[in-house]
Structure 1
């Protein structure tokens, strides 16, 4: 009975590892095909055509953006990768949400925009930064540990700016703008909680594997490469557009 229990746990851990690596591989194959913070043509057309307050619709659009936003998911994965206590997870996710919300709402409301290629390149670097932090690179190479909470807040501000920049391109109607933006932000946070729920379940099983630390190293190296690829893609796009 005992051996059967541990066998099931080992199988669950292996499946969690396989699922995580498969998701990272999927991101690797898709990152070269789509842009970060992209809004589908259907959603863009809807945003441009509607007028007035549409709470439910914007909650849906916000949640959809977060769940399908691979840059957000990769950074969120990096943030919680080695957080074992729910208290710590809640603190860091809240910090990221505050940063993301402030610049997204303020950016659209006041019309602040940054070149989409530049801001998305910075977001790609946020993934690189966090994965290198998880690998302990800063301590080994430079002998210091950056403030992880401050970094999470700063990069959260950049992630929100990236979203605001994309939304501004579609010129949301001023009628009902504040209510729709708040609804969109609620949707983003709902989507973030859904993504976090899945991540924590997978991580919970994965961490039970005796090979977790070795596999975690490989996973974070993959995240570094994905972040570099995303950054390169955006810089190349910026150069081509000038």
Structure 2
């Protein structure tokens, strides 16, 4: 996987830094001021009133959650930032999907309870990790390079537990639980594909411009800052909300 040079790199104009900052922080702000991208009250009320198999509803909810999940989108953007070949993008996205699908299904089915703020803080750290990896920080600081495929899968597992905590907020009926969970997972994957397609289109235009590598450093620093912001928000929520 390509990374930025571990040296000083090229000069990044101030205007370029500002443009790069808008991408991750725009995603963060668009998620709202809530400490975690939780469950909409209307959706929660609907799910609590129904039982049995409702495949279309859960596909919709899964897609909606992924498309509005700014922390998941930031991590995905970091993962594909320097990926150019379709097969590489497919491999990393598949590893991420395998991870979050596994823990999401098992977490809900076996009612594994993890504090939503703590798991979302770990998800925020995954964004920080990916930005640092793109910057070549691990090679520069420690002289080692983490296995990026293993890291994507492992962080996918944590993202899945984040999804599981949100689904458990719905108080889903046990009647029809497995088909509904599978439908939710299908929706998550559809939402991920839609979001990934949009990110790739934007990245494609940006990569063809002359400023991609000049601004890539600033974009990843901004992504790292957004990740630390997510971590701070979630830890604050953990300490404040009882």
Q: What is the TM-score when the length of structure 2 is the normalising length?
A: 0.89
Deviation at 1:145, TM superposition (A): 0.5
Contact between 2:73 and 2:195, CA under 8 Å: does it hold in 1? yes
Give how far 1:236 is off: 1.1
Partners of 1:171 and 1:134 lie apart in 2 by 39
CA distance in 1, matches of 2:217, 2:23: 16
1:129 corresponds in structure 2 to 129
- Checking the alignment, whether the CA contact within 8 Å between 1:31 and 1:230 is kept in structure 2 is no
Counterpart of 1:210 in 2: which secondary structure? coil
**Which 5+ residue runs of structure 1 have no aligned equivalent?**
1-16
Could you list the per-position Cα deviations for residues 113-141 of structure 1 after superposition, in whole angstroms to 9, with x for gaps in the alignment? 10111101000000000011011110111
User: What CA distance in whole angstroms lies between the structure 2 residues aligned with 1:95 and 1:155?
Assistant: 10
Residue in structure 2 matched with residue 219 of structure 1 by the alignment: 219
Provide, for residues 7-49 of structure 1, a one-character-per-residue CA deviation record: whole Å limited to 9, x for no partner: xxxxxxxxxx998754423234346712334111111111211
My pick for the range that moved more, 208-217 or 138-147, is 208-217
Moved more, 178-187 or 33-42: 33-42
Please state if 1:150 is matched with 2:142.
Answer: no
Is contact 2:44-2:169 (8 Å) kept?
A: no
Mapping of residues 19-168 of structure 1, within 5 Å: 22-30=22-30, 33-168=33-168
The unaligned stretches of length 5 or more in structure 2 are: 1-16
Shift of 1:205: 1.1
How many angstroms apart in 2 are the aligned matches of 1:169 and 1:84?
38
- Structure 1 window deviating more from structure 2 (135-144 vs 26-35): it is 26-35
Q: Counterparts of 1:130-209 in structure 2 under 5 Å? A: 130-209=130-209
Superimposed CA distance per residue, residues 157-180 of structure 1 (whole angstroms, 9 cap, x where no aligned partner): 000101111221332001110000
- Contact 2:124 2:228 (8 Å CA) reproduced: yes
Q: What is the match of residue 3 of structure 2? A: none
CA deviation profile, 1:86-128 (whole Å, cap 9, x unmatched)? 0000000000000000000000000011011110100000000
Greater CA drift, 151-160 or 214-223:
214-223
Q: Evaluate the alpha carbon distance shift between residue 193 and residue 217 of structure 1 in structure 2; reply closer, same or farther with a 3 A threshold.
A: same
* 1:112 aligned counterpart, secondary structure: coil
Name the CA shift for 1:60/1:18 in 2 (closer, same or farther; >3 Å). Answer: farther
TM-score normalised to the size of structure 1?
A: 0.89
Q: Which structure has greater helix proportion?
A: 1
